Amino acid sequence: MRKVITLILLLCAAYLSADSKDNMKINISITSSSGNHTIAATLADNSSAKAFAELLSNGPVTIDMQDYGNFEKVGDLPSSLPRNDTSVITEPGDIILYQGNKITIYYNTNSWSFTRLGKVEGVTPAELKKILGKGNVTAVFKLAK
């Protein structure tokens, strides 16, 4: 009986450990025309998001982002990430890998073949659009503690 309980406890610990890795959190500090803001996001469960988390494990990554099409902010990553492109209809708050070497934060919708990296949490689409402001922004991505 003791061995069965030990096995169950080990399986539960492995499950909880795997679950916490699947829900990796990041913080994004944004400097825009509307000021300085920090937003939280959860990374997706794919090899691209895991590679992005690995990049962030070396320290924060600062990206200068430009407005594109009045629906997203986009900027160049310091290195390419593996792609897992699928046909996606974005929503406000989606964090997307584009062409393997660009990261975008959507504040409106779009559809294309993209790789989902994550999703901003805790802000409405209107709040996100205000946070991202008009024109260029600087975004600092880092792993949440």
The predicted-structure confidence for 68-99, as pLDDT tens digits, reads as follows 999 999 999 999 999 999 999 999 999 999 99
Q: What angle do CA 32, 100, 93 make, to 5 degrees?
A: 40
Tokens matching residue 9:
């406890």
pLDDT tens readout for residues 89-139? 999 999 999 999 999 999 999 999 999 999 999 999 999 999 998 999 999
pTM for this model (two decimals): 0.83
Q: Which CATH architecture has domain 24-143?
A: Beta Barrel (2.40)
In the block, which residue shows the tokens 């509307």?
34
Tokens read off for 48: 């691209």
Do the strands 137-143 and 25-32 form a parallel or antiparallel pair, or are they unpaired?
antiparallel
Output the pLDDT for position 108: 94
